[in-house]
Amino acid sequence: MSVPGNIRANVTNSATVSGGGDPNSHTANDPTHIGPPIQLTFANGSATVTRGQSATFMFTLDSSPGLGAVTFSSSGVPAGALCTFNPPSSSLLTDTINMNCTTSGPAASAAPPMRVGPTYALLLPAFGVLGLVFAGTRGKKNKKIRLRWAMALSGLVLLLALAGCGGRPGFAGTPPGTYTIMVTGSSGTTSGSAPVTLIVQ
């Protein structure tokens, strides 16, 4: 007996008997799974999106009777992208699952860096004034004044240092390219996988 290559993985064999003095006919159904225990068949194996857009891949799950719930996962997803499944798991022998892959667009660039070089030049006179304060103030009464001046100058240095860290570029989003994403359905130690292609422009 030959089996077609495009046969469905889950079929039901039915047998009907009648006669033998029984006026009624009797039918028995036998669900049969053909092929690997878990099979994922995609309706469309590739999609092209622009960064920031989403692609939806629809696939059919076929699992063996008695296998239990099959959960889904993906690997090979590009940076800045996320793939989710609806539903995230299925206990049906045959079910239709949607996988949605969302990519990230480039973030807005940060503000241009501040030109802090001339500002640092203002610290030179400040250091000079501070030196005069320390030299001209002695005794316990003036100790608080010196401490206040030191704290104020330290705060100014910290503020300028933080300003110098600004202006870094934002996240560039999902990098353009062609990615092979492996989709896997698992139930216990049993699993089945199928690849899809995501093209990001």
Residue type, 72: F
Rg (C-alpha) for the chain, rounded Å, is 35
Beta strand 177-187 with 70-75 is antiparallel
d(CA 33, CA 93): 9
Q: Is 183 exposed, middle or buried (0-12, 13-18, 19+ CB in 10 A)?
A: buried
Q: CB 96: neighbour CB atoms within 10 A?
A: 13
Q: CB 63: neighbour CB atoms within 10 A?
A: 27
Find out whether 194 and 59 touch, Cβ atoms under 8 Å: yes
- Per run of 10 residues, the mean pLDDT along the chain (length 201 residues) is 50 68 74 77 95 96 92 96 97 96 78 50 55 56 70 66 54 92 96 97 94
The set of residues, in sequence order, having a beta carbon less than 8 Å from that of 106 and lying 6+ positions away, is: 51, 170, 171, 172, 173
| pLDDT recorded at residue 111 | 46
Find out whether 75 and 180 touch, Cβ atoms under 8 Å: no
Tokens of 52: 């920031």
| pLDDT recorded at residue 27 | 80
Query: How far, CA to CA in Å, does 3 sit from each of 8, 34, 43, 61, 128?
Result: 10, 10, 22, 20, 94
| pLDDT recorded at residue 6 | 46
Q: Given the structure tokens 């933080």, which residue do they identify?
A: 162
59 closest CA partner among 95, 101, 97, 91: 97
| pLDDT recorded at residue 78 | 96
